């Protein structure tokens, strides 16, 4: 499934952040969003994922296709690593979590409560969730935060394998993952500075 974003204008707190963003992500393709802090990368990813509506523009190819890993890991602290993965697999009508445990070397942690994991271990589990969804389009917001060198390599390998199976990935990241990926700099699409001042959006604080 190809993801198309056409002429999107986005707001945060009711104030335009990006205008006129268009992009396409084909099966097998990774696209990396770049831009300085506050440019609107998270807002764009949230909008494509369906967590907030755009002000205008079209998104096609996203419905029931997306697995999203945002800033929060989305874990249940009182469930074990294995139970967390089983939970998410069941949400997506699946049962096999072996590949997810393998990809992020989670077998030794499988019976630990998620709430007792370190920040990097939680992030590994949060990313492993993507593998149990069976969804083809991964939307990833700063996926490597808290990861050590080995875990970054695990993540890059998981993305590479996903692309090799016809999946795709759209991600915001400031680091070089060594992936063959296209890059979209959002700087030219930033809304005019005067339009961005003074907003707040309590629903998302
Ligand atoms: N809850 C909110 N209410 C109002 N404005 C917000 C809210 N969250 C973010 N913003 C503003 O929206 C703009 C875009 O923020 P966004 O988080 O999308 O940027 P980003 O490119 O992901 O930044 P970073 O690289 O720091 O993660 C920024 O000006 C930010 O201050």
In a domain, 198, yes or no: no
Q: Name every protein residue with a CB atom under 6 angstroms from any ligand 1 atom.
A: 12-13, 17, 35, 37-43, 196, 199-201, 204-205
Domain count across the chain? 1
Residue pLDDT, tens place only, 3-38: 999 999 999 988 899 999 999 999 999 999 999 999
pLDDT at 129: 97
Is pLDDT above 70 for 200? no
In a domain, 195, yes or no: no
In a domain, 197, yes or no: no
What's the CA-to-centroid distance between 118 and ligand 1, angstroms?
26
Give the position, in ligand 1's atom list, of the atom nearest the Cα of 203.
Answer: 1
**Residue range 167-192: average pLDDT?**
93
Q: What does 65-123 look like in DSSP terms, one character per residue?
A: TEEEE-SS----TTSBHHHHHHHHHHHTT----HHHHHHTT-GGGTTSBGGGS-HHHHH
In a domain, 205, yes or no: no
d(CA 160, CA 177): 10
d(CA 117, CA 113): 7
What's the CA-to-centroid distance between 7 and ligand 1, angstroms?
20
Is the ipTM above a cut-off of 0.85? yes
Residue pLDDT, tens place only, 53-70: 999 999 999 999 999 999
Ligand 1, from 16, 32, 38: best to mutate by most atoms within 8 Å of Cβ? 38
Average pLDDT, rounded, for the chain: 93
Domain coverage including residue 48: 28-52+62-185
pLDDT at 10: 95
pLDDT at 137: 98
pLDDT at 13: 85
Which distant-in-sequence residues (6+ apart) come within 8 Å of 1 by Cβ? 27, 61, 65, 136, 137
In a domain, 143, yes or no: yes
CATH number of the domain that residue 44 is part of? 3.40.50.300
**Which residue's alpha carbon is nearest to atom 31 within ligand 1?**
38
What's the CA-to-centroid distance between 56 and ligand 1, angstroms?
18
Query: How many angstroms from the chain centroid is the CA of residue 110?
Result: 23
Q: Other C-beta atoms within 10 Å of 118: how many?
A: 11
Q: Other C-beta atoms within 10 Å of 73: how many?
A: 20
Structure tokens at 10: 């986005």
Structure tokens at 20: 């006129």
Cα atoms in the Cβ-side hemisphere of radius 13 Å centred on 50: 9
d(CA 138, CA 130): 7
DSSP 162: H
pLDDT at 205: 47
Residue pLDDT, tens place only, 100-131: 999 999 999 999 999 999 999 999 999 999 99
Q: Which of 30-39, 107-116, 140-149, 174-183 has the lowest mean pLDDT?
A: 174-183
Contact 169/138 with Cβ under 8 angstroms?
yes
In a domain, 35, yes or no: yes
pLDDT at 176: 87
d(CA 145, CA 126): 11
Give the position, in ligand 1's atom list, of the atom nearest the Cα of 172.
Answer: 22
In a domain, 173, yes or no: yes
Contact 160/169 with Cβ under 8 angstroms?
no
In a domain, 203, yes or no: no
**Which residue's alpha carbon is nearest to atom 13 within ligand 1?**
38
Is pLDDT above 70 for 85? yes
């Amino acid at each position: 499934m190809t993801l198309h974003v056409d002429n999107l204008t986005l707001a945060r707190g009711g104030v335009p952040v990006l205008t006129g963003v268009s992009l396409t992500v084909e099966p097998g393709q990774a696209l990396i969003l770049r831009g300085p802090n506050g440019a609107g990368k998270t807002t764009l990813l949230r909008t494509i994922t369906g967590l907030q509506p755009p002000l205008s523009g079209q998104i096609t190819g996203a419905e029931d296709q997306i697995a999203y890993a945002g800033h929060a890991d989305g874990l249940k602290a009182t469930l074990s690593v294995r139970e967390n993965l089983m939970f998410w697999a069941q949400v997506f009508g699946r049962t096999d979590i072996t590949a997810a445990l393998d990809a992020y070397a989670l077998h030794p942690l499988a019976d630990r409560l998620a709430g007792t994991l370190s920040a990097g271990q939680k992030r590994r589990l949060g990313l492993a969730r993507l593998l149990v969804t069976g969804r083809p389009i991964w939307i990833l917001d700063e996926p490597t935060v808290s990861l050590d060198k080995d875990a970054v390599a695990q993540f890059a390998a998981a993305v590479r394998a996903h692309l090799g199976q016809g999946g795709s990935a759209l991600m915001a990241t400031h680091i070089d993952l060594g992936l063959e990926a296209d890059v979209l700099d959002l700087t030219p699409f930033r809304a005019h500075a005067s339009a961005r001042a003074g907003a707040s959006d309590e629903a998302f604080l």
